[in-house]
């Protein structure tokens, strides 16, 4: 791992940019950390979910009476026990929210829409009784024809999931229903005019498989609801305020009735931004008057949570002989799963974002089929569309006989570039990333036999949003920091570092926690790469609040006007300023803490804000891949991820994000896929045959951190957690085409598919000879 | 569910024979417990064989080996003599799962789970290993290739269990190897597996050969035609090609989530060639492992 690249500004900092041990580290390596399934309450029941054995069926009748009669069964719930919801879609974080759809996903209503769709839940004294109870729930189904593939779902005459679904975004509105929930159009300039002046035009179609977030910790929660309706929920989630809001809405309860505590989380990657078990556990607990714990199996996780969309796409790009891209067009069809809401919107917006293009046209379709409803997954939608674009960009460069990095640099998005989706970019690090790739040792290293090298660019917006942080100055001058965005990738370490930097208090004097929903104001979830950006911004503000208060208290003690006292950021103390300089001994926060009581009481820094000014992160990755020509098996032999972090607060956790994104991207590129039989049932709902990379599949994943500071963040932070999953798909595909001479247009590039493509190419070559 | 841990083979057979429900032998449990947890099996009685000494030992005598059915992959790896004589078998058993799984997984369990993709089985077949079976009517022996008759179907009758594997002495100027194809580097089930055992005479002519394939049919296959192509040759490219083609020809695979028919047939030939080469190198006294 390389050391932090020294940027001209890094000398401003003494803590930011260093690599201290994370505050949550010891508990995690010793097993003391408490994850979703680690809480147990006395009298606790086991909750279990009955899932649909059918792929698509009408639910004629659910009879729970026998289950309820079983000894040890304390409660049974079906969709009827929930508050009715309206079918209306609103913007929500990185995606959209429709409460009626969410309820249908939590428990099916009059139809089951995929194999494994929850249909009822029970709470019983133990798991064995719960399992028996599930078998006693009698459901009458009328099985319906199903559709799995996105192109088939769009075809005329496909079985319809919703007989009343009229495609949104089409004018005039279609008169017949279809599985197309929505159409999205993004237009910049005039692509037809652009293609007319192109010397080379390449158009290719692509398919990608849906992939699961693959968090190691399955969904888990414990709910307890008292007789007077006060509920507590302990849960593995990326956003406990979101869980609270969703549960309150689905149950029809007031928000103040529910207190949610975020457990330590074993990964989420977007998949833990929605609810599955939580409303069931709350309702079962309310009905049974006992705590209820629910934990998914891995099979449940894969069958009925996540994944992100699979797709079918066509991308067409035109360039002039001097390497200027003149037009880019894309048609993106994304699987939403059984309920509308694929990330095709961001897919459309991101597709061409790494480039400064005059003419862009992107059309997206959100398509339902009988698969689990998709959930956010790291840069939702972007890896898919950017993969297709980056594969065509690579082929264009090759056709124009241009170096792939030079070709990208020639068209690169920079400050002032107007993105096709609307805004003009501020300072961004795409060119810097490409330059760093070009200058890297990796780029110049010769390749071995059967090896190829690919590059690809990546772009993700990043988001801000509502955030609250409190910072308490304790009696002895130590500090207690409470944030509300669950720490998934080292957030607590980074927040402590920013508070320490701001207040010049040693790290070990700051204790940090993720507060529950009763301890802070509203916090949007950890997602959109926002937590270090937003909670970091709020932490710096809260720390500045403490400084201001320290000045006020010293002024009071010294009987000086506030303006006559200042914070000395060199020593981290308050001192008299101006004509009074030197008149009193400067006071550190330890001194201030001691006089807090007599100067006005406890000192608490607080910040509540809506973090604006999130800035995008761009990346360029280099992948070296070796392909066994006889088996089609691809091995990643070297990999470098280069990405703009804005500012790396804790470089190890920035690198960790880059490496994690790459590892997941490699899985997406090479082996991960949902495999369905003709019966519409998923055949690989487990980690044996749903193949995420194992450690030995990966070489050391090298990283280069670029720092083009985000001017709107006090320390220059951009989000880093998502962009890194985008480039691997195309970088690997491009490397494989160099290694084999065959262009691949379908993910995953699993050995049977690769070998078949190689054999086809070899047969074509022999025929030519 | 009842649990018994008898200390003798006879007692174990008795329990098996007397049971009127679904009794199951429990060795390492790496297949069985998973199947119970996922509702594939719901045995009425588990007979843990790990307390039976005979099943836990590796005995050497007259150059060959008697390996207890409940010996784990990790224990095989720690046996210097076996590793030197039959590296292919030891390596095959230690491709199973991960280090943790190898500490539990047994040769008997790998065979009796009845999966055509079991890794140690083609290596054992190639080595010409036999199994000792104990039952209510005493003991009998069968070649390993005759145990599995179909997916999850064994040639064992009610009350029978496997006591041990008899592996012959390593032939002079002999060598064995096992390779499998998986999409990743570990923690996968073989898409194709290939075990080879060879013997050369003084001038390098192949005098004995056995080649077995896994995961290409409803049970592991001993490919006689491949052996025929090799025996009598100097293992030159042509002979190896014929053997590899015979391997492909023997396949009768299915399309499934792990690979297509066409892929398995092709890769069987590729693995055959590569495995023969390693076995040949070993027969020539070159050491080194395959992974
Ligand atoms: C994570 C993981 C990865 C795996 N990877 C691989 C792999 O790469 N390759 C591979 O081949 N397998 C793999 N397996 C499967 C399994 O580990 C092996 O098949 C192992 O050898 C089984 O041995 P065991 O002792 O655990 O058998 P058990 O689970 O105890 O038994 C398996 C079956 O054999 C029967 N049985 C056991 N011993 C006897 C006996 N002496 N006589 C009669 N019947 C008997 C049992 O009743 C049961 O039906 C994997 C399993 C897991 C969980």
Tell me which DSSP letter residue A533 carries. I
| B257 contacts A675? CB cut-off 8 A | yes
Using CA coordinates, name the residue in chain A closest to B97.
A688
CATH at residue B247? 3.30.390.50
Contact B229, B246 (CB under 8 A): yes
CB A201 within 8 A of CB A195: yes
The nearest CA of chain B is from the CA of A213 a distance in Å of 18
- Residue A301: CB atoms within 10 Å: 25
Mean pLDDT of A450-471: 97
For residue B289, pLDDT over 80 is answered with no
Residue A375 CA to residue A368 CA, distance in Å, equals 13
Task: Give the per-residue pLDDT at B21.
Answer: 87
Question: Best mutation site among A627, A635, A752 for testing chain B: the one with the most B CBs within 10 Å?
Answer: A752
Tens of pLDDT along B230-281?
999 999 999 999 999 999 999 999 989 999 999 999 999 999 999 999 999 9
Instruction: Quote the CA–CA distance of A213 and A217 in Å, as a whole number.
Output: 11
Our count of domains for chain B comes to: 2
Q: Which long-range contacts (CB under 8 A, 24 or more apart) does B76-80 make?
A: B76/B107, B77/B102
Q: Give the whole-angstrom CA distance, residue A635 versus residue A404.
A: 22
Q: Which residues in chain B are contacts of A684 at CB distance < 8 A?
A: 257
Indicate the top mutation candidate among B54, B113, B116 to test ligand 1's pocket, ranked by most ligand atoms within 8 A of CB: B113
Question: Where in the sequence is the domain holding B213, given as residue range(s)?
Answer: 174-283
B60 within some domain: no
- Using DSSP's 3-state secondary structure scheme, residue A102 falls into helix
Minimum Cα–Cα distance from A297: chain B residue: B38
Structural domain contains residue B269: yes
Cis geometry, peptide bond prior to residue A487 (ω within 30 degrees of 0):
no
Reported as a single tens digit per residue, the pLDDT across A165-174 is 999 999 999 9
Which of B48, B68, B84 is where one domain is finished? Answer: B48
Cα end-to-end distance, chain A, whole Å: 48
The answer to whether the CB of B255 falls within 8 A of the CB of B55 is no
Nearest CA owner, ligand 1 atom 3: B97
Residues A207, A312 contacting (CB under 8 angstroms): yes
Judged against a pLDDT cut of 80, whether residue A480 lies above it is answered with yes
Per residue in B76-117, pLDDT (tens digit) is: 999 999 999 999 999 999 999 999 999 999 999 999 999 999
Partner A contacted by B262 (CB < 8 A): yes
pLDDT range class, residue B291, cuts 50, 70, 90:
very low
Tell me how close the Cα of B262 comes to any Cα of chain A, in angstroms: 8
What's the full length of chain A, in residues? 769
Q: What three-state secondary structure class fits A407?
A: helix
Contacts of A403 (CB under 8 A, 6+ apart): A397
Q: How far apart are CA A565 and CA A555, in angstroms?
A: 6
Q: Taking all residues of chain A, what is their mean pLDDT, rounded to a whole number?
A: 96
Strand partners, A467: A609
What is the per-residue pLDDT across A752-765, written as a single tens digit (0 to 9) for each? 999 999 999 999 98
Judge whether residue A93 has pLDDT over 90. no
Interface test with A, best of B257, B262, B265, B291 (most A CBs within 10 A): B257
Instruction: Band the pLDDT of A95: cuts 50, 70, 90.
Output: confident
In SS3 terms, chain B reads as: CEEECCCCHHHHHHHHHHCCCCEEEECCCCCHHHHHHCCCCCCCEEEECCCCHHHHCEEEECCEEEEECCCEHHHHHCCHHHHHHCHHHHHHHCCCCCHHHHCCCEHHHHHHCCCCCCCHHHHHHHCCCEEEEEECCEEEEEEHHHCEEECCEECCCCCCEEEEEEECCCCCCEEEEEEEECCCCCCCCCCEEEEEEEEECCCCCEEEEEEEEECCCCCCEECHHHHHHHCCCCCCHHHHHHHHHHHHHHCCCCCECCECHHHHHHHHHHHHHHHHHHHHHHHCCCCCCCC
Q: Whose CA is nearest to atom 9 of ligand 1?
A: B96
CB B110 within 8 A of CB B120: yes
Contact call for B263 and A751, based on CB within 8 A = yes
Which residues, in sequence order, are CB contacts of B8 under 8 Å at separation 6+?
B52
DSSP bridge pairs for B48:
B26
Tell the residue nearest (CA) to atom 4 of ligand 1: B97
CATH-assigned architecture of domain A430-456+615-769: 2-Layer Sandwich (3.30)
Confidence check: pLDDT of A9 > 90: no
Q: What is the CA(B104)–ligand 1 centre distance, in A?
A: 9
Å between A690 CA and nearest CA of chain B:
9
How many angstroms separate the alpha carbon of residue B115 from the centre of ligand 1? 9
Nearest to A630 among B188, B262, B270 (CB): B270
Q: Considering Cα of A442, then A445, then A448, then A451, what sign does the dihedral take? A: positive
Domain boundaries defined on chain A: 430-456+615-769, 465-611
* CATH number, domain A465-611, options 3.30.1330.10, 3.40.190.10, 3.30.365.10, 3.40.50.720: 3.30.365.10
Contact A684 B257 (CB under 8 A): yes
Closest partner residue to A696 among B185, B256, B270, by Cβ?
Answer: B185
**Nearest CB partner across the interface for A633, out of B183, B189, B260:** B183
- Average pLDDT (A622-631) is 98
Contact B181 A694 (CB under 8 A): no
The reply to whether B32 falls in a domain is yes
Atom of ligand 1 nearest to the CA of B34: 53
Distance, in Å, from the CA atom of A312 to the CA atom of A746, rounded to the nearest integer, reads: 9
Q: What is the separation of C-alpha B20 from the centre of its chain, rounded to a whole number of angstroms?
A: 30
pLDDT at A1 over 70: no
Q: Do A696 and B267 touch (CB under 8 A)?
A: no
Mean pLDDT along residues A331-350: 97
Residue A90 has pLDDT above 90, yes or no: no
Ligand 1 centroid to Cα of residue B161, in Å, is: 14
Are A670 and B183 in contact (CB < 8 Å)? Answer: yes
CA dihedral A606, A610, A612, A618 (to 10 degrees): 90
The verdict on residue B147 lying in a domain is no
- Strands A360-368, A325-337: pairing is parallel
Chain B: closest CA distance from residue A645 (Å): 31
Nearest residue in B to A688, CA atom: B188
Here the CATH number for the domain that contains residue B39 is 3.30.43.10
Is residue B271 situated within a structural domain?
Answer: yes
Gap between the Cα atoms of B195 and B167, Å rounded: 14
What's the rounded mean pLDDT across residues A372-376? 97
Expressed in angstroms and rounded, the spacing between residue B9 Cα and the centre of ligand 1 is: 19
**Exposure class string for A407-445: b at 16+ Cβ within 10 A, else e:** bbbbbbbeeebbbbbeeebebbbbbbbbbbbbebebbee
As a whole number of angstroms, the distance between CA A713 and CA A649 comes to 12
d(CA A546, CA A562): 14
Q: pLDDT tens-digit profile of A384-431? A: 999 999 999 999 999 999 999 999 999 999 999 999 999 999 999 999
HEC assignment per residue over B188-207: CCCCEEEEEEEEECCCCCEE
Q: Which residues of B touch A691 (CB under 8 A)?
A: 183-184, 188
Q: How far is it, in rounded angstroms, from Cα A574 to Cα A570?
A: 10
Pocket lined around ligand 1, Cβ cut-off 6 Å: B 24-32, 34, 49, 69, 95-97, 101, 104-106, 108-110, 112-113, 118-119, 161-162, 189
pLDDT at position A125 = 98
Is B199 inside any structural domain?
yes
C-beta of residue A239 within 8 angstroms of C-beta of residue A486: yes
Contact between A586 and A421 under an 8 Å Cβ cutoff? The reply is: no
Share of residues in chain B with pLDDT > 90 (%): 93
Residue from B109, B110, B154 whose mutation best tests the ligand 1 pocket (most atoms within 8 A of CB) = B109
Give the residues across from A645 on adjacent strands: none
In a domain, B134, yes or no: no
Contact status, residue A727 vs residue A385, Cβ threshold 8 Å: no
Compare CB distances from B184 to A675, A691, A755 and report the shortest one's residue.
A691
Query: Quick check: B263 and A633 CB within 8 A?
Result: no
- Number of A–B residue contacts, CB under 8 Å: 53
Residues 6+ apart with CB under 8 A from A505: A477, A478, A479, A499, A572, A589
Rounded to the nearest 10 degrees, the angle between the axes of helix A536-558 and helix A491-503 is 30
The 10s digit of each residue's pLDDT in B106-127 is 999 999 999 999 999 999 999 9
Residue nearest to atom 13 of ligand 1 (CA): B96
The least confident of A265-269, A270-274, A688-692, B283-287 is B283-287
- The alpha-carbon gap from B58 to the nearest alpha carbon of chain A, in Å, equals 31
Higher pLDDT, A38 or B63: A38
Q: Is A763 on the interface with B (CB under 8 A)?
A: no
Which residue, B237, B204, B207, B241, is CA-closest to B226?
B241
């Amino acid at each position: 791992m390389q050391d932090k690249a020294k940027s001209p500004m890094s000398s401003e900092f003494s803590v930011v940019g260093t690599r201290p041990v994370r505050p949550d580290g010891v508990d995690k390596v010793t097993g003391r950390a408490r994850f979703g399934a680690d809480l147990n309450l006395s009298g606790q029941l086991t909750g279990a979910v009955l899932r649909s054995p059918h792929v698509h069926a009408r639910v004629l009748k659910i009879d729970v009476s026998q289950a309820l009669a079983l000894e040890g069964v304390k409660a049974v719930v079906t969709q009827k026990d929930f508050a009715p919801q309206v079918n209306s879609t609103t913007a929500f974080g990185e995606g959209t929210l429709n409460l009626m759809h969410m309820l249908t996903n939590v428990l099916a209503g009059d139809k089951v829409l995929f194999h494994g769709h929850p249909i009822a839940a029970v709470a019983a004294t133990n798991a064995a009784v719960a399992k028996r109870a599930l078998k006693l729930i009698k459901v009458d189904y009328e099985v319906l024809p199903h559709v799995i593939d996105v192109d088939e779902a769009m075809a005329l005459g496909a079985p319809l999931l919703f007989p009343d679904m009229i495609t949104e975004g089409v004018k005039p509105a279609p008169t017949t229903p279809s599985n197309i929930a929505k159409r999205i159009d993004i237009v910049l300039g005039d692509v037809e005019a652009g293609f007319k002046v192109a010397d080379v035009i390449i158009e290719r179609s692509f398919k990608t498989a849906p992939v699961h977030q693959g968090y190691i910790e399955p969904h888990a929660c414990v709910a307890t609801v008292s007789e007077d309706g006060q509920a507590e929920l302990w849960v593995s989630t990326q956003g406990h305020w979101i869980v609270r809001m969703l549960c309150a809405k689905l149950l029809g309860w007031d928000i103040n009735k529910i207190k949610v505590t975020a457990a330590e989380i074993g990964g989420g990657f977007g998949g833990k931004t929605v609810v599955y078990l939580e409303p069931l556990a709350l309702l079962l607990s309310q009905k049974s008057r006992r705590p209820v714990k629910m934990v998914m199996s891995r099979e449940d996780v894969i069958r009925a949570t996540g994944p992100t969309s699979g797709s079918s796409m066509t991308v067409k790009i035109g360039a002039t002989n001097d390497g200027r891209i003149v037009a880019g067009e894309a048609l993106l069809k994304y699987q939403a799963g059984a309920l509308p809401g694929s990330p095709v919107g961001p897919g459309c917006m991101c597709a061409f974002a790494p480039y400064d293009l005059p003419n862009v046209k992107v059309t997206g379709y959100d398509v339902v089929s009988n698969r689990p409803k998709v959930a956010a997954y790291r840069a939702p939608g972007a890896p898919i569309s950017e993969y297709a674009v980056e594969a065509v960009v690579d082929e264009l460069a090759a056709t124009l006989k241009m170096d792939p990095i030079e070709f990208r640099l020639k068209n690169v998005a920079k400050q002032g570039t107007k993105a096709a989706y609307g805004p003009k970019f501020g300072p961004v690090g795409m060119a810097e990333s490409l330059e760093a790739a070009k200058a890297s040792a990796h780029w110049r290293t010769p390749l071995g036999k059967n090896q190829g090298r690919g590059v690809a660019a990546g772009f993700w917006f990043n988001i801000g949003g509502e955030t609250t942080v409190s910072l308490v100055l304790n009696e002895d001058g130590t500090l207690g920091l409470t944030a509300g965005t669950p720490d998934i990738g080292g957030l607590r370490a980074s927040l402590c570092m920013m508070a320490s930097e701001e207040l010049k208090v040693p790290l070990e004097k700051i204790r940090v926690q993720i507060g529950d929903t009763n301890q802070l104001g509203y916090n949007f979830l950890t997602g959109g790469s926002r937590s270090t950006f937003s909670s970091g911004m709020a932490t710096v503000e809260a720390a500045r609040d403490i400084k201001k208060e320290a000045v006020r208290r010293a002024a009071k003690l010294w009987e000086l006007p506030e303006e006559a006292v200042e914070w000395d950021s060199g020593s981290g103390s308050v001192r008299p300023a101006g004509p009074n300089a030197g008149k009193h001994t400067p006071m550190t926060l330890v001194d201030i803490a001691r006089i807090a009581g007599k100067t006005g009481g406890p000192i608490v820094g607080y910040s509540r804000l809506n973090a604006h000014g999130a800035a995008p992160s761009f990346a360029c990755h280099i992948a070296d891949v070796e392909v066994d020509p006889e088996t089609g098996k691809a091995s990643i032999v070297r990999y470098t991820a280069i990405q703009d972090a804005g500012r790396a607060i804790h470089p190890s956790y920035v690198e960790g994000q880059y490496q994690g994104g790459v590892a997941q991207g490699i899985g997406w590129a090479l082996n991960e896929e949902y495999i369905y039989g003709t019966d519409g049932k998923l055949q690989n709902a487990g980690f044996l045959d749903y193949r995420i990379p194992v450690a030995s599949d990966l070489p050391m994943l090298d990283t280069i951190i670029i720092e083009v500071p985000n001017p709107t963040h006090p320390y220059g932070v951009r989000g880093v957690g998502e962009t890194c999953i985008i480039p691997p798909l195309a970088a690997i595909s491009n490397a494989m085409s160099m290694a084999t001479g065959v262009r691949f247009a379908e993910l995953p590039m699993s050995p049977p598919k690769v070998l078949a493509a190689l054999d086809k190419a070899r047969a074509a070559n022999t025929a030519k000879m | 569910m009842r649990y018994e841990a008898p200390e003798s083979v006879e007692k174990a057979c008795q329990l098996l024979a007397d049971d009127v429900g679904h009794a199951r032998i429990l060795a390492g449990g790496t297949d069985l417990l998973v199947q119970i947890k996922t509702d594939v099996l719901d045995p009425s009685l588990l007979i843990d064989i790990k307390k039976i000494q005979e099943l836990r030992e590796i005995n050497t005598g007259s150059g060959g080996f008697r390996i207890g059915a409940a010996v784990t992959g990790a224990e095989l790896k720690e046996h210097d003599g076996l590793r030197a004589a039959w590296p292919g078998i030891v390596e095959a058993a230690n491709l199973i799962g991960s280090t943790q799984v190898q500490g539990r997984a047994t040769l008997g369990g790998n065979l009796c789970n009845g999966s055509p993709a079991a890794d140690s089985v083609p290596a054992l077949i190639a080595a010409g290993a036999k199994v000792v079976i104990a039952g209510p009517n005493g003991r009998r022996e069968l070649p390993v290739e005759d145990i599995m008759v179909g997916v999850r179907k064994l040639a064992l009758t009610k009350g029978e269990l496997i006591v041990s594997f008899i592996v012959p002495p390593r032939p002079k100027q002999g060598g064995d190897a096992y390779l499998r194809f998986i999409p990743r580097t570990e923690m996968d089930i073989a898409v194709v597996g290939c075990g080879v055992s060879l013997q050369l005479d003084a001038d390098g002519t192949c005098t004995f050969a056995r080649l077995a394939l896994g995961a290409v049919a409803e049970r592991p296959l001993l490919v006689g035609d491949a052996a025929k192509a090799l025996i009598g040759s100097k293992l030159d490219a042509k002979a190896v090609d014929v053997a590899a083609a015979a391997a492909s020809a023997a396949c009768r695979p299915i399309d499934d989530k792990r690979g297509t028919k066409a892929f398995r047939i092709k890769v069987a030939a590729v693995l055959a060639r590569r495995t023969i080469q390693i076995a040949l190198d070993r027969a020539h006294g070159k050491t080194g492992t395959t992974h």
